[in-house]
Structure 1
Amino acid sequence: MTAATLLISVFCIGGTFMQLPISWMADRSSYRTGQLVCGLILLLGTLAFPLAD
């Protein structure tokens, strides 16, 4: 139950606070760079999730 609550909280907070940096990056770089950075952030978050316990 705690892990599910943490996951939902991080998802909501990340969705709110990452809108401005992602849109800023999308305006100033190429599509490919934006997708690469977002993919790397997603990968790092996925790898860090087991450490949050």
Structure 2
Amino acid sequence: MLSEAAEFKALAVSRLAAQHAEIEQLRETAAANARVKLCRTSDSFVMLCFGSVAVL
């Protein structure tokens, strides 16, 4: 049981780290490209907006 909990925790931390890295990469892309910006919606989702097209 304890090893299953440790394995679950390690997997969860790994997934969070991967998500964080992806978010950082998207932020860098947005900052580097003036045509791309981060848009906040009313329900707090963050999207990449390319001109008038938003990508989820």
Question: Which category describes the TM-score, using the shorter chain as reference length?
Answer: 0.3 to 0.5
Q: Which has the higher contact order (CA 8 A, sep 6+)?
A: 1
Query: Larger Cα Rg: Structure 1 or Structure 2?
Result: 2
Q: What is the TM-score when the length of structure 2 is the normalising length?
A: 0.39
More strand by share: 2
